[in-house]
Structure 1
Amino acid sequence: MKRVVNPLNVSRFLRGYDEAAAQKGIKLSIGFDFHKYVSITKALATKVPTYPTFRPDRSPIEKGDGYWMIGLDKNNEVVLVQAARLYDLSNSNFAEHLQSLRVFYGDPATQAHPQDRCSCTAPSAKKINGKVAYHGDFWLRKDFRGQGMPEIMAAVLRGVSFLMWAPDFVVGLPERWLLSKGVLAQYGHLHWEAGGSVLHLVEENIVADDLIAWLTGDELECLVNRDERSEVALCA
């Protein structure tokens, strides 16, 4: 379904969260050069390595199909990072995209290790198709945790993704501990299921068993236009 994006509504939505971050001493900015993003994330000692999903040497991102966000403190030191990219799954679905390894590699046939595997058993993943905005690579510095930053980070990415792409779905693959610690709720996901991605990438030394969480395009549009943050369910 084609959605009409009202830039003023998105601007008002983003401004509120940008100001909320500024009140915590964080300056947010958006970038599009993923070579630069990888160089930034490599320097973060406590962050797990960025998945090949957001590394242009393994999964090129066409201009306009991806962006990243960074937050700096008053000393211009990195406080947070996260990234987003768009997949055209008009002839596929997110479960198939995961299991084919195309979420991680531009050309799995030549780039994936023969023993690389990804299974997705979440039933709803097969229904996630069309224009799909994938949000991932979340990292927040320890001294800024417990201050509501996940809500701000998620909201900014949703607003920017809606403005750029007006996607049919916004999807992520959060770690299971985020659910038990209540962080998943802070992100404002309306839907989640287990079995999102059981992953083993041999050369990347990645082993994961992640949930899948998502919003529909209608829910995203309602969130941005109403700007009621945690009350997205009222739009249903």
Structure 2
Amino acid sequence: MPTVLRPLLDAIEINHGPRIELGRYFLQLAEEARQIGISLHMGRGSGRLNEVNKRNQDTWKPLGPVYDPSVSSIDEGNSIYIEGQCEGEPVLTLILRRYDWPQSTLREEWESGRFAYRDPDIQMDPGERWIAEAPAAGEISGRVVFVGGLWSHPTFRRKQLPVLSIALMRSISLATWRPDFAIGMIETGPMTRALLPLYGYPPIQPGMMIVGGWRTFESNLIWETPNMLTEHVLNSLIGPDQPDQRNRRDEGIRRARAPR
């Protein structure tokens, strides 16, 4: 089903968290995007994400099965798509996927293949393995929001878009679903060192791997709790006479440990 996009400020619903502050924060993010020539839009489902990915294979690797509704349980009820546009063309994408695991954990869902596949026994390739060695993966459960589908057009890649992307992820996750955990994966390598400062140094652990199947790679797990999401939003709000504080390191966030 095609993704219907609406301006972010028209589409966003603040169901959780500090409503007044979140409202101000969404206005702030929309203005920051506008200042670099981007308008923010929001929709449901992964249809538009897959479309943009296929149109930009020269600068973007093919997406994994977690975003493919033909094999995954992703749908309009459990996913939110964000697109930044310049003159009507997509230049920034990300998607939030909600999982509900009241009796399971990230490790169980990842290693069984259910994280990505509707029916892993049938849909996984022979020999495909998902490995979750990060210790926190065994403790992340409940309502979990996974952020992915991150891409920016090459002409916008020196405009601090990772900072804007992670800010959108935190605020939208909190306002819409208030998850027990918001998680992401950063592929092991130079990108980890480059992105962590821009993301505000969330807790991180290595050990999330995929072998065979659509792609073989190893990534680092990052995660945040509702309190951490809220703290980031409140610390990032800019008052009338305040400088931008979004890169300020909050001591409580920096010292956060693995879930217990």
> By how many angstroms is 1:32 displaced?
0.6
Q: Structure 1 189/215 Cα, relative in aligned 2: closer, same or farther at 3 Å?
A: farther
Within-5 A mapping of 1:142-153: 142-153=154-165
Q: Structure 1 231/94 Cα, relative in aligned 2: closer, same or farther at 3 Å?
A: farther
Gaps of 5+ in 1: none
C-alpha distance after superposition, 1:41-95 (max 9, x if no partner): 2111311111111111111224331111111113x22211111111112211112
Partner of 1:190: 202
Q: Please report the TM-score for the alignment, with normalisation by the length of structure 1.
A: 0.89
Within-5 A mapping of 1:1-236: 4-45=16-57, 46-74=59-87, 76-176=88-188, 177-180=190-193, 182-195=194-207, 197-202=208-213, 204=214, 206-228=215-237, 229-231=246-248, 233-234=250-251
C-alpha distance after superposition, 1:144-176 (max 9, x if no partner): 112211010111121111111000111001112
> By how many angstroms is 1:120 displaced?
1.1
CA distance in structure 2 between the partners assigned to 1:184 and 1:207 by the alignment? 22
Gaps of 5+ in 2: 1-14, 238-245, 254-260
Query: What RMSD, in angstroms, separates the aligned Cα atoms of the two structures?
Result: 1.9
> By how many angstroms is 1:7 displaced?
2.8
CA distance in structure 2 between the partners assigned to 1:213 and 1:36 by the alignment? 26
Answer yes or no: is the 8 Å Cα contact 1:81–1:137 preserved in 2. Answer: yes
C-alpha distance after superposition, 1:163-216 (max 9, x if no partner): 110001110011123223x22221224200111x210242x2x11111111111
CA distance in structure 2 between the partners assigned to 1:150 and 1:123 by the alignment? 26
Q: Please state whether the residue corresponding to 1:10 is helix, strand or coil.
A: helix
Q: Please report the TM-score for the alignment, with normalisation by the length of structure 2.
A: 0.82
Identity percentage over the alignment? 27
C-alpha distance after superposition, 1:10-55 (max 9, x if no partner): 1211221221111000111111132233122211131111111111
Q: Structure 1 56/199 Cα, relative in aligned 2: closer, same or farther at 3 Å?
A: same
CA distance in structure 2 between the partners assigned to 1:21 and 1:184 by the alignment? 21
Answer yes or no: is the 8 Å Cα contact 2:117–2:124 preserved in 1. Answer: yes
C-alpha distance after superposition, 1:122-142 (max 9, x if no partner): 111111111110001211112
Q: Which amino acid aligns with 1:24?
A: I
Q: Please state whether the residue corresponding to 1:185 is helix, strand or coil.
A: helix
Q: Which amino acid aligns with 2:225?
A: T
Q: Please state whether the residue corresponding to 1:67 is helix, strand or coil.
A: strand
CA distance in structure 2 between the partners assigned to 1:39 and 1:10 by the alignment? 30
Q: Structure 1 53/189 Cα, relative in aligned 2: closer, same or farther at 3 Å?
A: farther
